[in-house]
Structure 1
Amino acid sequence: MAAATDLSPWALFMQADIVVKIVMVGLLAASIWSWAIIIDRTQKLRQVNKQAEAFEGRFWKADSLEDFHNAQAKLAHPSAQIFNSGMTEWRRSSKGGAVVRKEGLRTRLSSAINVAIDREVGLLSDRLNVLATIGSVSPFVGLFGTVWGIMRAFTSIAATQNTTLAVVAPGIAEALFATALGLFAAIPAVIGYNRLLHGVGQVEARLVGFSEEFQNLVSRELDAQG
């Protein structure tokens, strides 16, 4: 009888029906997965911002774009990739001493940089869709576990023909525990998704700003060439 009135989370899990147990385990796994993504992406965004700040500082101190590109070509963070994409296009257009058509080069340079920005933002946004899915689906999965658990509780009540609180409470608590786990998984996932999406947006704005400054610098050099 003591076990039947034990309403601790572990006791509720052990007393649950196999279907509700599967729901609970799935929600717990989803919660762990979402936290892993949140921690990983948060650290990644912090690292990218630090790298961008350092890279831009070196960029504006460089004496020439060619020398700077040769020195930074092996870097793999987003700011460096955008700069490398632009320089690669510039070198291709002027390869072999060919006459550079300024407007055509500006167009191709802008296109190459925009593609690089989209690619880097896509990499930074990796797995954010998982957070969005967990945040939107988990409450409904928990609700399914609750409905199933309540159906089972009512069936047990009908079988025993006993409606005292000691008989009803464990089954109802077990069912509601599934909803609690659903919210436990969903709330951090939704908050993490919104915060990370905002962080990615800030990085994207920074990359766009850097790319525009870089393109302006290239444009001024082209104008200076006559």
Structure 2
Amino acid sequence: MSAIDLLFKGDAVSSTVSVLLLGMSVCSWVVILWKGWLLPRALADVARSTAAFWQAPDWAQAQQAVRNFDREALVAPLVDATQVPTQGTLAAGGDRSQQLTRVLRDALHGVLHRLQAGQVLLATVGSIAPFVGLLGTVWGIYHALIGIAGAGQISIDKISGPVGEALIMTAAGLAVAIPAVLGYNILGRIIGRIEADLEGFARDLRELLLTSQP
């Protein structure tokens, strides 16, 4: 019996487990391929945008230089956040240092939230897919043993076939979980590098604005 047979010819539990594993696999691969394209591009954009910002002769040209290189809008929100007027609101409370810390922190959180999109899905799939596959295996072995007991005769060929078919679910669970775990770890390292670069830029930007007003 193939995986397709388990999907379409199994009982309700087996079919449900197969559909869950298939859905988790598709979702995790979509996230892996999407972020595998997005994050290297974002990492390069952050490096080029911050370099262009510091090489600009004035504030207006620095903002424009950032927008020219920041295709994923990761650095521009930090720069723009420092220029939002806050007069007449509670956000204007405190000294200039506190105001800059607040707006840069909020902008940074928004950018990092977008970068982290999909990571929870990968972590969840990597954690639960083996157990979903194991559930299908246990259920399949249970039905295999019931069938063997009803046959009245026990032989190795009657045991190995049904049990081997049930173990396909375990293999399927691992096949879904392993790419998700690898994707989570590899993509997470890239996100960590981008996060460190953005935090460093936000800190430097805050220090610049505390000593000079563009």
Query: With structure 2 as the length reference, what TM-score do the two structures score?
Result: 0.86
Q: Is the 8 A contact 2:134 2:173 kept in 1?
A: yes
Aligned pairs (5 A) from 1:1-226: 8-10=2-4, 16-69=10-63, 72=66, 77-88=73-84, 92=86, 104-221=95-212
- How far apart, in 1, do the equivalents of 2:164 and 2:171 lie? 10
Q: Which amino acid aligns with 1:153?
A: A
CA offset digits 1:11-53 (Å, max 9, x no partner): 5656644421321232122112101111111222112112112
SS of alignment partner, residue 191 of structure 2: helix
Structure scoring higher RCO (CA < 8 A, sep ≥ 6) equals: 1
Runs of 4+ deviating beyond 6 Å: none
**Matched positions, count:** 208
Q: Which runs of 5+ in 2 are unaligned?
A: none
| Aligned AA (1:45) | L
Q: Which moved more, 1:194-203 or 1:151-160?
A: 194-203
Instruction: Report the Cα distance in structure 2 between the residues aligned to 1:200 and 1:143, rounded to whole angstroms.
Output: 32
Q: Secondary structure of 2:204's match?
A: helix
* Structure 1: gaps of 5 or more residues: 1-6, 94-99
Measure how far apart 1:85 and its partner are.
0.8
CA-CA distance at 1:88 after TM superposition? 2.7
Once residues 12 and 136 of structure 2 are traced to their aligned partners in structure 1, the CA distance between those partners, rounded to angstroms, is: 10
Give the CA deviation at 1:128: 1.0
CA contact (8 A) 1:12 1:173 kept: no
Going from structure 1 to structure 2, the CA distance change for 1:16 and 1:166 (only over 3 Å counts) comes to farther
Contact 1:140-1:182 at 8 Å conserved across structures: yes
| Percent identity (aligned) | 30
CA–CA separation in structure 2 for the residues paired with 1:11 and 1:140? 21
1:125-153 CA deviation, whole Å, 9 max, x = no partner? 11211111111111111111011101100
Q: Which moved more, 1:66-75 or 1:22-31?
A: 66-75
1:113 Cα deviation after fit: 0.5
Amino acid at match of 1:66: A
Query: Matches of 1:114 and 1:172 in 2, distance apart?
Result: 56
1:68 deviation in Å?
Answer: 2.8
